[in-house]
Structure 1
Amino acid sequence: MRIFIVEDDPFYGELLAYHLSQNPDDELHRFETGRDCLNHLYMNPSVICLDYSLPDLSGEEVLRKIKTANPDIRVVVISGQENIQTAIALLKLGATDYIVKDDDTRERLWICLNNLRQQEGMQKTISHLQEEVGRKYSIESAIIGNSPPIRKTFSIIEKAAASKITVSISGETGTGKELVAKAIHYNSPRRNRPFVAINITAIPKELIESELFGHEKGSFTGADFKRIGMFEEASGGTLFLDEVADMDPGMQAKLLRALQEMEIKRVGSNKPISIDVRLIVATHKNLNEEVRAGTFREDLYYRLLGLPIQLPPLRERSTDIILLARHFMKEYCRENHREQLKLSAEAQRNLLAYAWPGNVRELKAVIELACVMADGDTLESEHLQLMHNSPVDVMLSEDMTLKEYTHQIIKRYLEKYDRNVVLVAKKLDVGKSTIYRMLQDNSL
């Protein structure tokens, strides 16, 4: 740490400097006046040991000016006055500690600086971790892809991160809904506050209220202590409710009231607690259809809808499949300290021909297992453990007209060949004008 010692008594200042110099990692600078200290704040000291009685300025005045210039500088006041009121006043102004000059001053100062050194180390660690998390969940790092559907998703995520609006994410299982929620949180102004996630289907319905709102001790059998709920845990940050469509109707009403009033009540308490959370919800179901079926409240649906994000299934992102596969291969090899693998041409063809009912989550699992099974430096098709269903099987499982099937086939080929109409027309043996007409009608 860079430490300033501000002391007008040369002998006492030298004594403190000698004592603190026992730590060779610290950088010490001595000043005998308040103004001299203030003139050197550009050096950005970590800590200032400030004598309360200086010849030019009072300790209180110097403290105020230091905190105005840089509130992050820690100031330890050293005074010959054992005055409680003075100490309290200086601590309220932002002093880190108040040490009275006596025989134990040097030892107390040494302990105080050691504590500050540990705090600074912890703060640097926290800042480093926050930077790492920020990089991990940057939009491009969290969601791998370059296909038109995923690029469209990127732009919506950027809009969501820049606002406080509630976000509702929908998409099939395994499309990365929680990754999107984290990308929104860690790129928003709330990035340094908590991100709290809960999967509604993972909690018994009788415990959901306690999980979300908390409970008081003795409020029900087994409530042996007070519990802070997830709304309170996420204060100032983001609360992510996954599979919200599966919430019990009674709990839906309580959630709606909490969002309308922006306050909650712990189970067993009548005391309202104000909440400040950004809400992101997700479901693999169609919430609109759940409303029509009567299983989800319409008023809660409109409260949660906010900014909707529809994540495309992997079969609609065919141009991303090889990109994702290589990413997962690289990630696996790095984490397991093995040489990077290549992906054979036949393996690539098999990956592109598969329907991926489990989406990105399934692709990751398949690639990781294939990396384990690969003996050489190339991942071959025999290493891929794929279910025996094709994109055609998935498509034919849906009730569509022949015209709709035709549109789906052409759409898939346009995505696969980067919207090259001439190439797609050649591959499908159809006229270019047919494809151009569909594009003009916005049916593709």
Structure 2
Amino acid sequence: MTGPPSATAIVLVCNGPGELTTWVRPLAERLHASLALRPRQPQAATELRLVLVPCPNATGHERQAAERLGLFSSIVPAERFWKLLLRPRRYGPWPARGVVVFLGGDQFWTVLLKARLGYRHLTYAEWVARWPRWNDRIAAMGPEAARRLPSRWSSRCTVVGDLMADLSETARAEAPLPAGQWVALLPGSKRAKLLVGMPFLLDTADRLAALRPGCRFLLPVAPTTTVTELLALAGPANPLHRHYGSSEPRLLEPSAEAPSRWLETASGTRILLVEQHPAHGALSQCALALTTVGANTAELGALAVPMIVLVPTQHLQVMQAWDGWLGLVARLPLLRWLLGVALTAWRMRQRGFLAWPNISAGRAVVPERVGPILPQEIAAEAADWLSHPERLAGQREDLRALRGQPGAVAALAAMVTELLPTA
């Protein structure tokens, strides 16, 4: 750390890749734009830090993804969170005053951290603020989260809106894709999802390209994975590869005609690899997305990109990426296979909506395909959607209606600034 000792700190707390991209990054960028903060201004009196907290839905690569953003003077990885609580000074000198901001994970972790550091505390509450007594302020995503607060704490709460409603505003400024009807392939960011998602979606892309030769494909490379890993999981090294028709793809390196990297399947289907993070500009130009469940459905919804959400359950033994204590038990070495299959099968039978737009609306805004689905079925459904632009436009309008008005990031940044000690 360069410059004089900092007087105050803003500590953003997060858990997984989706929250890091859609909540933490926009807020951090806004704070840097409105305040003098380290590390971008080394002589500033206030620094911006990131603390990652334990979460069964994390990939383990969140620290590396956050480091590439260049927004934080220090990053504490999730595996060191408990040591941070016990001995904060192990991770450098901490200013005596500051603000802890909850942006994902278990809200209780930020209660512990703010108590340990003696900082003020702000929670961004998507659905409910669980510990209002120990929050100085609460930023609610919407009126429903605000209504769930006991009346004695309501004065601490401000409805700021959905942080992801601002995504489309920033996406518009990015470079346009080449002409064509683009379809986004989102196989996931964690290995458990990629094992199924990569061979499934490449097979689907080959079949969709045969049905609609004018289709063009792109695949955003999640910050928690690599092109090398994607290639490995798309080929024979993946035990699930043999269940699908697509052969191992090859990597096309950039050239004068094609400045980006592409995957090319044995059938000749080319898939643009979008390696900048986040990929909102490219995604916002797609006619349709084929995606797994997770935070990516919230991103696509915020960008108003029509989607088909896929949960192929024919490989239950590798689909153990569920949350909660049952998910943790399912990953115990001796019980992993049996409990993992039983847990996932139970979740599939008992499920409500899985995609964030459907959860938010309480109805089926986007189609969810759950079960032993096949690439040929999804390719046929995608081709049908693409041949009916009025249906795509209707889904896009439904998604826009759910998104809300932009401005939540600025409102949340203002609340952080208000809590930051000034003297």
Task: Give me the TM-score of the superposition, normalised by structure 1.
Answer: 0.30
**Structure whose CA Rg is larger:** 1
Task: Give me the TM-score of the superposition, normalised by structure 2.
Answer: 0.31
The structure in which a higher percent of residues are helix is 1
Which structure ranks higher in relative contact order (CA pairs < 8 Å, sequence separation ≥ 6)? 2
